[in-house]
Chains A and B, each alone.
Chain A
Amino acid sequence: MIGYAWSILELPLLAFVLIVFVTRRSRQMSAAIAIVCIGIAAVLSLFLVLPQVMAGATAQGDFSWLKLLPGAAPAGSEAALKLGIKVDPLAAIMLIVVTVVSLLVQVYSRSYMIEHGHYDPGYSRFFAYLSLFTFSMLAVVLADSLLFLFIGWELVGLSSYLLIGFWYDRDPRPGVHLLAPWIAAKKAFITTRVGDVGFLIGLIILWNRGGTLQMQELFEQAERGTGPLFQASLLGQPVLFWACLGLFAGAVGKSGQFPLHVWLPDAMEGPTPVSALIHAATMVAAGVYLVARTFPLFHAVPQALTVVAIIGGFTAIFAATMGLVNNDIKRVLAYSTVSQLGYMMLALGAGSVAAGMFHLFTHAFFKALLFLAAGSVIHSVGTNDIREMGGLRKAMPWTWATMGIGALSLAGFPLFSGFWSKDEILATAAEGAGPILLAFGVITVFLTAFYTFRMFFLTFHGAYRGAPSEAHHAAGETTDPHQGSPADAGHHGAEVERGIQIHESDWWMVGPLVVLAIPALLVGFWGSPLGNNGFQRFLEGSEFHELQPNLVLAGVGAVLAIVGIAIAWGLYGARAYRTEPLARFGGLYTLLWRRYYIDEFYMWLIDKLAIGVAYAISMFDRQALDGLINAFARIFAVGGGGLRQMQTGRVQNYGLVLFGGLALIAVVLVVVPLVAR
């Protein structure tokens, strides 16, 4: 099995290398290579790795990567760094999520990256990046040491940066606080970097005190409960607490949790398949996966779990409120992603890996579905603004139906996938997270249902509110710089209508939607009480303990979800949309609309604090340090100027000095012995 796992990991890398070095110029070949490679990987993980893991097998393999000098290795560890992979139930689940969603997204991208019959100029580059991302994500998933995980972690950060800024030459779209893609990419990269510094610090602590980065060995140390990892350090907390906090900081950055959530909504400037794959299903879930992966460490220091629960619970409700008022179809989904990731963190913090991972699992499918459906809408309508949509149900029945399934699942409508996993989280929170965080979780159910269906009804129901298509039609026929030969230009112009005519997307795009709708609808049963908690049994193995189904919470959750959908229907579905009904809340609405002014606050902080400090340092550099250097330089300049005077250019002067010196030496040699005697 380990051989299969290695090939799953390496296939996307192979695709990346092939596209970059061989098929870069041939667009269809690049797409085909990427899709075939990830397709093979998906088949391998679904039909070869998963059945074996379900039968109880795990596998591990590694190789020695770097030899360390004896002095560089901490006491009591091997003098080599190992890179290795490990397949266990946790990794197998993520393997399924990553390969399947990545495959569907790449199939979808095959058409999405062709707009109105024109290939995107970076078509091959897009598939190369997607393959690179998939490889990096699989490295995160399969890694058996924190070092390898960190390498993959940084690589997914890089791919995310490259893909958000994929349209690096585009200007910002018109609208309130929208960024140009290349700025959004930088924002995402730098914000997550803040968390990654924490991750690195955590790794350094573990390496210095634990003596290894192999996860299995660290877990054994954590299980013993004594040893160097449990020495008291800062604030009387054990060393392990700070290490866990460092790892969690990395997770906070990657998963867009509260203080570092600002990058995720802006990451929506990237192409929509990227948002579906990276910023919904896989990469942002890597933070949750990291905490789940290193859960034995967190479990050993309950204080760290409390921090995880508080951050998660707060982020869930905090992001949901911002999702209420946004008018960008992808940003609404982005806030819902942040909010759902908060749920997962809450579940982990409450002590249940199974609940968190179960929600991660269902969320990956229905959120990828929602994003791809949103992409289908954007591809057809040509705008992200839900105020300019409406009434798309008739024109795009497949997109409508599949997105409806995704939205019901996200809202936690009974019997849909999201319902089961959300219920599991609420039950876990009721047991282990305290009343306030539970209340946060329950309120978020209502908010989620409301904003999801606000977006859904505004997009698909009511009347079309976009610009009349005739105007675009006329403009399209007269000046279309991309149109082919003049002979068929008229024919094409009428048919394509600059893409403004609303149409269902082709089967390359609808196909993945339909395929994703199945798990979004059904996969929840695997982990539901109806399915005998199969998911949890699989994940936890022998440590599985049955959680009593909390019928009260399940009922409350279901009712709140239905009420949220009903209110959304009343405000947005049942009547024509002219002004924003929520705007009557005045200041509160503005506060949410401006995203709690957190972005402004960060900008202010950077302007005043960072730039102030940088200015002070630059002054020190220019005045003090440069002054010192210049003083040295001046000494040599002055000294050199003095010595210049001796270079008269007259040979006889040199000769005089030469012979004078010689005579002096002779005199000394004669006189000194005489005097000394």
Chain B
Amino acid sequence: MEFLVPGLRHFLVLGSILFALGMYGVLSRRNAIGILLSIELMLNGVTVLFVAFARYLQSDQELAGQMFAIFIITQAAAEAAVGLAIIIAIYRQRRTVQVDQLDLMKG
């Protein structure tokens, strides 16, 4: 039952699953809000990986991973604010936030 003992591998699998779920959401959600949420999920997956690497791997700079996690959380908040602002602006213009209807850049 050794594989039940939490180790680096478990956290890697968890982070990857979170990231993959988020990516699936980004690519398949039609609602812009949903995409934004999925991006947050991807970011959190990455954060988990950073913390796990920082915890389990030898490093000269012991807190580097944690620092990155905090940075990511900060910029995720900023990104959510900007993203929501954009979505509201789009909604005011187009009366919709369904991204498959937003194809003005079609070549």
Residue numbers of A with Cβ under 8 A of B are 643-652, 655-656, 659
Contacts of B23 in A (CB 8 A): 659
**Contacts between chains A and B (CB distance < 8 A), count:** 34
Contacts of A643 in B (CB 8 A): 107
A659 to B104, CA, bound (A): 23
Interface size on B, residues (CB 8 A): 13
Chain A residue at minimal CB-CB distance from B101: A650
- 20 residue pairs from A and B, CB less than 8 Å apart: A643-B107, A646-B107, A647-B106, A648-B106, A648-B107, A649-B102, A649-B104, A649-B105, A649-B106, A650-B103, A650-B106, A651-B99, A651-B102, A652-B26, A652-B99, A652-B100, A655-B26, A655-B27, A659-B23, A659-B27
Residues of chain B from 22 to 80 with CB closer than 8 A to chain A in the complex: 23, 26-28, 35
The 3 A-B pairs at the shortest CB distance, nearest first, are namely A647-B107, A649-B103, A649-B106
The reply to whether B105 and A647 contact each other, CB–CB distance below 8 Å, is yes
A582 to B105, CA, bound (A): 87
Contacts of A644 in B (CB 8 A): 107
Among A645, A647, A650, which residue has its beta carbon within 8 angstroms of that of B100?
A: A650
A649 to B105, CA, bound (A): 4
Among B27, B28, B107, which residue has its beta carbon within 8 angstroms of that of A649?
A: B107
A643 to B107, CA, bound (A): 9
Q: Shortest distance in angstroms between B66's beta carbon and chain A's nearest beta carbon?
A: 27
Contacts of A645 in B (CB 8 A): 107
Contacts of A656 in B (CB 8 A): 27
Q: Shortest distance in angstroms between A639's beta carbon and chain B's nearest beta carbon?
A: 13
A656 to B23, CA, bound (A): 9
Residue numbers of B with Cβ under 8 A of A are 23, 26-28, 35, 99-100, 102-107
Contacts of A649 in B (CB 8 A): 102-107
Contacts of B26 in A (CB 8 A): 652, 655
Contacts of B104 in A (CB 8 A): 649
A471 to B35, CA, bound (A): 100
Contacts of A650 in B (CB 8 A): 99-100, 102-103, 106
A644 to B107, CA, bound (A): 5
Contacts of B35 in A (CB 8 A): 652
Contacts of A651 in B (CB 8 A): 99, 102
Q: Shortest distance in angstroms between B98's beta carbon and chain A's nearest beta carbon?
A: 11
Q: Shortest distance in angstroms between A301's beta carbon and chain B's nearest beta carbon?
A: 72
A644 to B28, CA, bound (A): 23
Chain A residue at minimal CB-CB distance from B35: A652
The reply to whether A648 and B103 contact each other, CB–CB distance below 8 Å, is yes
Contacts of A659 in B (CB 8 A): 23, 27
Chain B residue at minimal CB-CB distance from A641: B107
Chain A residue at minimal CB-CB distance from B30: A652
A647 to B106, CA, bound (A): 5
Q: Shortest distance in angstroms between B27's beta carbon and chain A's nearest beta carbon?
A: 5
Give me 6 other A-B pairs in contact (C-beta within 8 A), A649-B102, A651-B99, A652-B28 excluded: A643-B107, A646-B107, A649-B105, A650-B106, A655-B26, A655-B27
Chain B residue at minimal CB-CB distance from A662: B23
Contacts of B99 in A (CB 8 A): 650-652
Contacts of B107 in A (CB 8 A): 643-649
Q: Shortest distance in angstroms between B63's beta carbon and chain A's nearest beta carbon?
A: 29
Contacts of B102 in A (CB 8 A): 649-651
Contacts of B103 in A (CB 8 A): 648-650
Contacts of B105 in A (CB 8 A): 647, 649
Contacts of A652 in B (CB 8 A): 26-28, 35, 99-100
A648 to B100, CA, bound (A): 10
A216 to B23, CA, bound (A): 89
Chain B residue at minimal CB-CB distance from A659: B23
Contacts of A646 in B (CB 8 A): 107
Contacts of B28 in A (CB 8 A): 652
